[in-house]
Amino acid sequence: MDEHAAPAREADPRKALVALLPRLRRFARSLTGDGADADDVVQIAIERALRNIDQYERGTRLDSWMFRVLKNAWIDEVRARGRRAKVLAPAEAGETVGDDSAGAMEARLEMRAVENAMQTLPEEQRLAIGLVCVEGLSYKEAAEALDIPIGTLTSRLARGREALAAMLGGA
């Protein structure tokens, strides 16, 4: 089954949350740029979702609702860090140590370049690209998750894609 396919309409959204965890973590990684921060914000989002599960409108897409919860959790976390005068942890050095496969190393380096380029984008472009290009949401679903008009989403995607292509040497 395609992990980007519309999630089954489960009677209990709590059970469906488990199936969403890989996608939530991937989206969190695109937001935070750091694995540990991604795990933390996913945990915060899951806790909020479980605490406020009565706010989820049954029959709608749980993934879109959760992406919005996760995005808001990250915004709150960044604001809290700013108040505490903390900074994000830098990317871990040596993440690829011990793997001597040239192909695997090249793939990791390309992925690192994409991650680094994504982190230089303005947040609104990074969020749009993360939801549409990484998570496979439709423009409408991504616009709803970000609470913006579709035209605004389209514009952010275009600017973000252009910037990424320029940074990564693409056409």
Domain end (from 50, 70, 92): 92
Q: What's the CA dihedral at 135, 138, 139, 144 to 10 degrees? A: -80
Verify that 155 and 104 share a domain, yes or no.
yes
For residues 59 and 133, the answer to whether their CB atoms sit within 8 Å is no
Q: What's the CA dihedral at 13, 150, 159, 72 to 10 degrees? A: -40
pLDDT reading at 100 higher than 70: no
In the chain, % of residues over pLDDT 90: 27
74 within a domain of the structure (yes/no): yes
For residues 162 and 122, the answer to whether their CB atoms sit within 8 Å is no
Show the domain range for 50.
8-92
Question: What distance in Å separates the CA atoms of residue 91 and residue 169, rounded to the nearest whole number?
Answer: 22
Task: Work out how many domains the chain is built from and give that number.
Answer: 2
Verify that 81 and 104 share a domain, yes or no.
no
Summarize pLDDT for 47-72 with one digit per residue, the tens.
Answer: 999 998 888 888 888 888 999 999 99
